[in-house]
Amino acid sequence: MFSQAEKYSHMIKQEALRLGFMSCGIAKAIFLEEEAPRLESWLKAGHQGEMSYMENYFDKRLDPRLLVEGAKSVVSLTLNYYTDETQTDVSAPKISKYAYGTDYHSVIKAKLQELMAFINANIGEVDGRCFVDSAPVMDKVWAQKAGLGWRGKNSNLISKQAGSFFFLAELIIDLELAYDNPFATDHCGSCTRCIDACPTDAIIAPYTVDGSKCISYLTIELKNEIPTEFKGKMDNWMFGCDVCQDVCPWNRFSTVHQEENFIPKEDLLGLSKAELIDMTDEVFKKVFKNSPVKRTKFSGLKRNIDFLQQS
């Protein structure tokens, strides 16, 4: 016989898969004792760069019960974004795969709200919050605790079945559920491909990324000028970077996503190097409408492209 908690957990997981999520795992909402010293030392070393928001809400980052009163469970979800499509002009400044389609924040938020509505309609009045990259939640830690994968040497969550080209999201709710076993095995072994391939040497040690050196940080998060020390090291990336994932052997198991909203925009993939260099604000607004690339604004993307031409 299933307990009520097991029955509810099964229902939530089934609905998550129906909504298009790739996997779903559940962990007990507790204080992340092991992560506290790691996070503190990472911040003290300045690896967050100008991402000052990483320093905010330290306590909330480590305890979901401070984000949702009476929280009992953290439901972790993954959503595949892998595509085998590429930009047409191989010499054009590059965009990370995750930004080929519609902004994932809105896509995932809508799915999470549907999942929350399902819980309230089928289980009862449950209080909670949806999280997609926009609050102090240690999503990779919770996903590992929920059994969805391990954190690789590039610090990304990796799944044996699906690699790492997926988004992470959470529901933190005040409902007691049946909890999955944490993913306890590290399957990176002696492999150092991600460390060896990183163009800016941002992976300073296995499992430790200096965010201030990461190309994704430099092209998206950094608001000031890109430091001259990175000239010639950007590997032609103008928005994000996929290098440490592209070289990861586990990504041979990646499969093309089935999410309509993530279908690459043809006019985006079709931009030539010359069109990107000469791009106007008008073209930027048209091509990158509802795209994660909008985050850099036109001025930020132009800064990145100009920096690549100077390198």
Catalytically active residues, by annotation: 133
Residue 129 has φ and ψ, to the nearest 5°, of: -135, 150
Convert 111-171 into a string of H (helix), E (strand) and C (coil).
HHHHHHHHHHHHCCCCCEEEECCCCCCCHHHHHHHCCCCEECCCCCEEECCCECCEEEEEE
Residue 159 has φ and ψ, to the nearest 5°, of: -110, 135
Would you tell me how many other CB atoms lie within 10 Å of the CB of residue 280? 10
Exposure string (b/e) for 174-200, b if CB count within 10 Å is 16 or more? bbebbbbebbeeeebeebebbbebbbb
Compute the distance between CA of residue 13 and CA of residue 281 in angstroms, rounded to an integer.
43
Give how far the C-alpha of residue 47 lies from the chain's centroid of Cα atoms, to the nearest Å.
Answer: 18
DSSP, res 225: P
Among residues 126, 138, 124, 210, the alpha carbon closest in space to that of 168 is found at 138
